[in-house]
Amino acid sequence: MTKDVTITELSAPKAADKAQSVLFDHFCELVTRLFLAFEEEEWSQDADWDIAFGQTASDADAAWKLVAIQAETVTALQPLSANDLLLHRIAGLVRQAVTATNVHALEVIRTRAMHCIAHAPMHLARAVHDLAEEALASIDQMIEHACACDGDALSARALPLAA
């Protein structure tokens, strides 16, 4: 009987560790998808690359939709620690950013992300803090992209990215 209690107690923390690892891994995938989406966006804006590699605006649109889906995946997971909570919140803000319809909304999202990072507990894992900073830098890039495309007559749309 005691052995069963011990097994139950040991399996619960392992399950919690696995769930935390899953959230962290999914957030890493989100950041990777952000980088790939920016790369696709640049390729789709450069006509020479479009011709040479068959890249089109629809490839960039698909990349942003994958970012939105990955952000939804991360926010669907239950945060189990302060590390998870920061990543969960930032993923929610990334999801809002890729569906934002104007630059002002992106700026508000950036401010919220900065607030989340600034008010996160000091004992967070360095990797978690670094990933949150990378996501914040990506939101900054989204703002730069939207501002650059705003005056571009060739651009059909700048926002939302995951239309």
Hey, what CATH topology would domain 2-150 get? Four Helix Bundle (Hemerythrin (Met), subunit A) (1.20.120)
Question: Domain locations in the chain?
Answer: 2-150
- pLDDT class of 125 with cuts at 50, 70, 90: very high
d(Cα 117, Cα 147) in Å, to the nearest integer?
A: 24
47, pLDDT greater than 70? no
pTM for this model (two decimals): 0.80
For the stretch 121-127, contacts whose Cβ atoms lie closer than 8 Å and that sit 24 or more positions apart, written own/partner, are 121/82, 123/82, 124/82, 124/83, 124/86, 125/83, 127/24
Higher-confidence residue of 53 and 60: namely 60
- pLDDT above 90: percentage of residues in the chain: 62
- pLDDT above 70: percentage of residues in the chain: 74
Mean pLDDT for the chain overall: 82
pLDDT at 3: 47
